Structure 1
């Protein structure tokens, strides 16, 4: 717990810990880089906490998902999930699997987002304050990072 470590005098640059092997806001890494970082040469030394949460800004094609399954197998990344923000409308309750600024059903801009925190899909507004800050910094790979 980051707060406890700070209280004990440790240097803690963030207000919460996460399970990423890289800084969540780092946009220099490709999707392949992230699979490599969560691959066998690293995770064979761990007893847990090695899941790759691959943050993407939109869903991939079936062929792209299949290719990334091959990449995961080749790299030895044995535990991963794709994390694409969903939009939930606070007015009509519509949920869309895309990251939108406006509800496509009722056109309200009163929307929230669903994304994973510690593996579980939750509304960002329900995250702790520190986790909301962390979630706001997350880089979601865009199409230019999809090259496989």
Structure 2
């Protein structure tokens, strides 16, 4: 009888238009016996049933594996919440494309730095978007985004 893999993969894209194949392939190559996948925004932890399932059922000694930390969460707070849940269960986090392994002190420190930069990048993107909207309004070319199927503006 085969022993289950202590590695559980998690693949995520923000939209259904994006492809998960490369992530799934990398996670399988990394030895993940199971890969859970979802195509939902990573802006918050809410509304991500596959990630919730992993966090609810992961066992001591198992490792949640992602390709990159930004596939898991977009804010330091959410990353810390996930890592705290894993730690409570005696589990760890690793990434295939980044030197993250929360079972080591160096890996934990690097993970924390990556989280800070992921949040910084998100904040920069929001600032650039706000600046672009402001410039478009000054030029009189700004049009509000329409909410699909409602005819209403966002």
Q: Which has the higher helix share?
A: 2
**Higher RCO, 1 vs 2 (CA within 8 Å, ≥6 residues apart):** 1
Q: Highest CA radius of gyration, 1 or 2? A: 2
Q: TM-score, length-normalised on structure 2?
A: 0.30
